[in-house]
Amino acid sequence: MVTSCELRACLTRSLIANPSRPRARLSIRYRPNTRTVKLLGLRWLQHSTKESALETALPSYEEISLAPPINRGRSKVFNSADDAVADIQSGSTILSAGFGLCGVAETICQAIARRGKESVHSLTAISNNAGGGDGGGLALLSNAGQLNRLILSYLGSNKTLERSYLNGEIAIELCPQGTLAERIRAGGAGIPAFFTPTGAHTDIQTGSIPIRFTPTGAIREPGKPRETRIFNHKTYLMEHAITGDVAILRAQQADSAGNCRFRYATKAFGQIVAKAARTTIVEADEIVPVGALAPDDIDLPGIFVDRVVLATAPKVVEIRKLRPDPQSFGHHPPAQPETLTPALLRRNRIAKRASQELKEGYYANLGVGMPTLAASFIPDSRKVWLQSENGILGMGPYPLASEVDPDIINAGKETVTLLPGASTFDSAESFGMIRGGHVDVSILGALQVSAAGDLASYMIPGKVVKGMGGAMDLVSNPDQTKIVVVTDLVAKDGSPKVVEACNLPLTGARVVSTIITDLCVFQVDRVKGELTLTELAPGVQVEEIRAKTGAKFHVAGLLKSME
C-alpha cells in the first residue's frame, strides 16, 4: 500500500506549477477504502496500490520540483553541509555523483543522514551505485531508511541493499551504466529521450527486471518495457532523460562563483549530475576566490552550481590493490607456479591466453576480475591502451603503497595508476567511446555464454542481483568491438557455462566472438549461431570438452595448443 508520505510526494510532483505560488501548501484527503484522492478540488483515481500505477494515473509527474529555492543574490558558499541540506524536502529526487566511493559527496551524505528519517524521507536516489558495503555514500541514507527508491547500474558489495531489494523493502530500477550516464547527460541538456543499442534483446527491453517485490517475493512493481525502433537493420531502445531536484557531488576545488575542478576519476558522474538537477550542492576539498582557477582548469562552470560547502569527510579507498615492491622481493619473493593453487593456475592460464587478444596499439576494455588479470601478461614491449569505463584511458598497473591515490581507481573500484599519455573524462564520454565502436576489444567474464554468442553475466534471479554495470554497453557494438569472454568451462557445481541457450538474463544477444576457458578456446560464428573448438589446454582431449560443454560444436581441422 502506498504510504501517505509517498502519496504526498507523488501528488506534489503531479501539480502543474503555479508561478505565482510555487510553494503553495497542499490540502490532501486520502481514503484507502475508495482508493480516491481529493487534492485542491481535483480528483484522481488510484487504479491500484502500486506506485507505478499511481504515477501513471497522475499527469505531469515531473512538472513540479521539490528542489530547494535558488537565490541568485546570495553567496553560493554555505557555512556547513548541514546548512546546505537543511531545506531538502521529503520525496525529493537526489542525483548523487561518484563511482564506488570515489567522488562521492560523503560530507553531504552525512549531513542528510543527520537530519534523520523523521525530517527527510521517501527520497529517490539516482547514482551509479549505492555506496559501499560498510556504509559509505548513499548506503548511509538507505541504512537510515531515508531512501524509498533507487535508480542505479550496480549494487556491488552492498549486501544489505541487495537483501532489502529482494525482501521488498526498497524499489530499485537497474539501468545499464552507459545508459544511466546518457540519460543524466540528456536531462541536463534538455533532451527528453534518445535511442541506444544498449540492452536490446534483453530484459531491459522487455521490462522483465522487477523494480519492487513484496515481502513474499512476488512482483509488486514490474519493470518498464522500452519502445524500440530499427535503424540500419539494428534494434534500438528509447530511453527517457533523467532530471532531479538536487545533485550532490565532490570536487577538488570550487570558487565562490561555483566553478569547479575535479581530479582524475572523480569526473565520472560529477559533471553530468550537476547539470541535470534544479539545485546543485558541491562539497569541495578547497574553496578558493574567484579568479584562482584559470579558465582552462574549470571542469564545471558555475552556472550549474548553486551551493558550495567545504568537504570535511576524508576520501575513502574502497579497494586498496597494490603491486609488489621490487625492493621487497628479498624478504617476500613472488609466488612461483608450483606454489599456486589449482584455481589460480586456471585463472592465470585463461588470463595469459586472453592477453593475446590485446595486440599492439589496441584500445581495450577489461572487465572486473579475471579480465583485469590479462593486463599483467602483456609484454613490456607491446603498447596497449587500457580504457576503464569510469573515465580513464591509459590505465596503468596497480600502485605501490606510496603511489595510492583515492581518486585513481578502475572499474572494479581498485586502486590503479595512470601511464604517460593517459586522460580522464566523465562517464558519458567514456560510454560514447564504447558504444561508438572506438574500443578494439572488450574482455568480460560470464555466468553463461551460448553457442550463438549470447552472454549472461550479471544476475541469478532471486539469488544474486549485482546489476549489469557497464557490461551491456560494452557488448552493444560487437561488429566494431570484438567481445571476448573469459570463464571456467564449468561452474563450481559442475554445470556447463558454455550452453546451447542461456537460461539466465542476457547481457547481450549474439555479441561474443571468442570464448576462452581454462580447458579450451571456442570461436563463435554469431551469424550462424555455431561454435568451433580451436584450441586445447595441454593434456586435454576433445572428449573431455564434449562432456563438459552444454552445446554442440565443430572441431577445427588443426587444433592449436593454448599458450
Residue 389: active-site member: yes
> In which residue are the cell numbers 572486473 written?
368
Q: Could you give the CA distance from residue 391 to residue 100 in angstroms, rounded to a whole number?
A: 13
Q: Could you give the CA distance from residue 511 to residue 351 in angstroms, rounded to a whole number?
A: 20
C-alpha cell at 47: 487504479
Per-residue CA distances from 56 to 8, 34, 184, 220 (Å) = 15, 18, 22, 15
User: Could you write out the DSSP letters of every residue in 428-440?
Assistant: HHHHHHHHTT--S
C-alpha cell at 209: 527486471
Per-residue CA distances from 170 to 90, 122, 123, 270, 483 (Å) = 16, 10, 11, 25, 34
Nearest to 518 by CA among 544, 531, 536: 536
Q: Which class for 4: exposed (0-12), middle (13-18), buried (19 or more C-beta within 10 A)?
A: exposed
Per-residue CA distances from 132 to 113, 159, 386, 548, 562 (Å) = 15, 9, 25, 37, 39
SS3 (DSSP) at 560:
strand
Q: Could you give the CA distance from residue 416 to residue 364 in angstroms, rounded to a whole number?
A: 16
- Kindly compute the dihedral angle of the four CA atoms of residues 106, 108, 114, 118, in this order, to the nearest 10 degrees: -120
| Active-site residue, selected from the candidate residues 221, 389, 414, 429 | 389
**Which active-site residues does the annotation give?**
389
